[in-house]
Structure 1
Amino acid sequence: MARLQYLELPVGDRAEAKRFYAEAFGWGFTDFGADYAATMSGDTDIGLDAAPDKVRAPLPVIRVEDIEATLAAVEAAGGKVVVPIFAFPGGRRFHFRDVDGHELAAMQPG
């Protein structure tokens, strides 16, 4: 079953964002490269993206079992793929816009 697993937040300064969320909520982060950090709770996690080409708005990420079948289903339902399937540490994902123009991502762990 697909479920919301992740929320990526665009941030200007990764270290400052980590400090804020640690102080405000007690969250710990794991660094992935120079521009990215994420909680690793195993529940719905938060990613902090400070890369120059980061998303412009919060990005909900939906965990799915079959990335190719999900891409086909998104397109058949009227969604538009904006970033094709790509690999990242932890699996594969793609980004799409729903029928109202919201950008989301679907990811398959692996």
Structure 2
Amino acid sequence: MSSNAVPTWFDISTPDAARARRFYAEMFGWPMDAVQEDYTLVGGVEGAPVAGIGQAGPHSPYTGIVVYFQVDDLDAALAQAEQLGGGRRLDPQSVPGMGRMAVFTDPDGNPVGLLGP
């Protein structure tokens, strides 16, 4: 795993995505780009997306804000998290234009995201 893992993305998963979009757009002036009915990209500097706001359903792996860290080897990082006492929350999956993502919980139950090839 990369020793330079830095935050590169965050997601806000909420039972009321429309409310969250309105709140954050008004609070911070974030530009929003609804790419799906239940998922909106949040623009950052020069319009490049830096985050997403998604609708959480009854089977969502988490709710709240999850910060994603870029790693060189997603599978190795996820395995290391589990060896250190974390728990797998979302199995690795492909995300168009971003590579692969996964989510684990740290020993205190906080969800943490991973992005990698």
The runs of at least 4 consecutive aligned structure 1 residues that moved more than 4 Å come to none
Following TM superposition, by how much is the alpha carbon of 1:8 offset from its aligned partner in structure 2, in angstroms?
1.5
- Counterpart contact for 2:56–2:63, Cα < 8 Å: no
Among 25, 29, 39, the alignment partner of 1:26 is: 29
- Measure how far apart 1:82 and its partner are: 2.1
Secondary structure at the counterpart of residue 36 of structure 2: coil
Partner-residue secondary structure (3-state), 1:32: strand
- TM-score w.r.t. the length of structure 2 is 0.75
Structure 2 unaligned blocks of 5 or more:
none
Q: TM-score, normalised by structure 1?
A: 0.78
Q: Please tell me the root mean square deviation across aligned C-alpha atoms, in Å.
A: 2.4
Question: Partner of 1:45 in structure 2?
Answer: 50
* Code of the aligned partner of 1:88: V
Number of residue-to-residue matches in the alignment: 109
- 1-side partners of 2:49 and 2:106: how far apart? 21
Name the CA distance, whole Å, in 2 between partners of 1:12 and 1:82: 18
| Bigger strand fraction | 2
User: Given residue 26 of structure 2, which amino acid in structure 1 is its aligned partner?
Assistant: E
Deviation at 1:44, TM superposition (A): 8.9
